Amino acid sequence: MADWNASIIAEFRAGGGRVGGMFEGADLVLLTTTGARSGVRRTSPLGVAREDGRLLVFGSNAGGDRHPDWYRNLLVHPRAEVETADGHGGVRTLAVRAEVLEGAERDAAYARQAARIPAYGDYQRGTTRVIPVVALHPLDLTTPDPARDRAIATQLLTVHADLRAQLARLRDGDGAATGEALAVHCLAFCDALGTHHAAEDAVFPAFDEGFPHLAPVLARLRAEHREVAAELTALRKATGEGGADLAGRLDALAARMEEHFAYEEEHLVPVLLGEAAGSEG
C-alpha cells in the first residue's frame, strides 16, 4: 500500500494534479496530516468533492471496517495541508482546518458523493461503521478575523519556543544525549524543524493573498526555508556518519535558526496582532 500511494503521489505532483490508471479523470487531492501518536507527517491521495469553498474528503477506506489513519490523525491534529491542481498545469499547497461533519449534514454530504460516484454507496453498504465525512477549510487571511490571527501568532511563537528549547538541549548535551543518543535526538530535531517549515510553506500562500505588502518578507522566508532544508540534510548526513563536527554544525544551525525566527517574529507577528511591523531589510 505504501508503494502504491507513493506512486500515485509522485504522478500527481508530476502531472499537475492528474493521474492515470483507475483514477484517470478523478478529482484528487493529496492530504498531509500529522501522526496522532508519532507526530510524523504522512501524505495520502484522496478523492475530493468541492462544495462552497470547502474540500470534502471521505474516510471510506474502500469499505473496510477500520477508519483510515489520516482520519484518526485529523481528530488529534486538525491542522493539515492539501495539495491540489492549480489549474495551470501545476500543484499548489493550501493550509487547511479539518471539521468532521456530523448528523444530517454528514448524511447529506455523503449521499451527494454517492450520487456522483456510486462506489461510495457500495463502500458504506460494505461496512457497519459510519464512514466519516471531513470538511477541509482552506485558510483565508483576506477576511478580517482578529481571534484567528492571534491564534496563528500564538502558535508560531509557541512552536518557535519549543524548537529553540530542543536545539538548546542538544547543544548542551542534555542528560544522556551523547553519542548514539545524540544522533537520535538530532534526527528528531531535524524532523521537527522540517515539519514546521513545511507547514509554514503551506500557510504562506494565504499570507500572499491576505497581506500582499509582505511579499518581500515572504520571499526571504521561503528562500531561508530552502537554505535551512539544505543545512538539515547535511546535519542528517553528519549524524548518520557519526561526524566529529556535529557540535559545530549544531552551533551553526542554532545561529541560522535564531536569525530566521527573529526575522519572522519581527515581521509576521505584529501584522497578525494588528500592530505596525518592522521595516523589511
Q: Are residues 106 and 200 in the same domain?
A: no
CA of 113: how far to CAs of 65, 86, 250, in Å?
19, 22, 50
CA of 244: how far to CAs of 93, 179, 239, in Å?
38, 10, 9
Give the pLDDT of residue 191: 87
User: Domain of 105: which CATH number?
Assistant: 2.30.110.10
CA of 64: how far to CAs of 24, 59, 93, 130, 220, in Å?
23, 10, 29, 11, 46
User: Domain of 154: which CATH number?
Assistant: 1.20.120
The maximal CA–CA distance of the chain, rounded, in angstroms, is 62
Q: Are residues 161 and 251 in the same domain?
A: yes
Q: Are residues 133 and 150 in the same domain?
A: no
The answer to whether residue 184 sits within a structural domain is yes
Give the pLDDT of residue 22: 84
Give the pLDDT of residue 276: 59
Q: Are residues 163 and 134 in the same domain?
A: no
Residue 237 class from Cβ within 10 Å (0-12 exposed, 13-18 middle, 19+ buried)? exposed
pLDDT by residue, tens only, the chain of 281 residues: 677 889 999 999 999 999 998 888 899 999 999 999 888 889 999 999 999 999 999 999 999 999 999 999 999 999 999 999 998 999 999 999 999 999 999 999 999 999 999 999 999 999 999 999 999 999 999 999 999 999 999 999 999 999 999 988 888 765 444 556 667 778 888 888 998 998 999 999 999 999 999 999 999 999 999 999 998 888 888 776 655 577 788 888 899 999 999 999 999 999 999 985 544 54
Give the pLDDT of residue 257: 94
Q: How many domains does the chain have?
A: 2
Give the pLDDT of residue 169: 85
Domain final position from 70, 105, 138: 138
Give the pLDDT of residue 235: 84
pTM of the model: 0.80
Q: Are residues 126 and 228 in the same domain?
A: no
Domain final position from 138, 166, 192: 138
Cell (9 digits) for 81: 495541508
Q: Are residues 118 and 192 in the same domain?
A: no
Domain final position from 115, 138, 161: 138
The answer to whether residue 278 sits within a structural domain is no
Q: How far apart are CA 49 and CA 110, in angstroms?
A: 10
CA of 66: how far to CAs of 5, 20, 77, in Å?
18, 27, 19
Give the pLDDT of residue 177: 44
Q: Are residues 7 and 132 in the same domain?
A: yes
Give the pLDDT of residue 56: 98
Q: Are residues 73 and 17 in the same domain?
A: yes
Q: Are residues 86 and 187 in the same domain?
A: no
Q: Are residues 99 and 183 in the same domain?
A: no
Give the pLDDT of residue 279: 45
Identify the domain containing residue 55 by its residue range. 2-138
Q: Are residues 150 and 131 in the same domain?
A: no
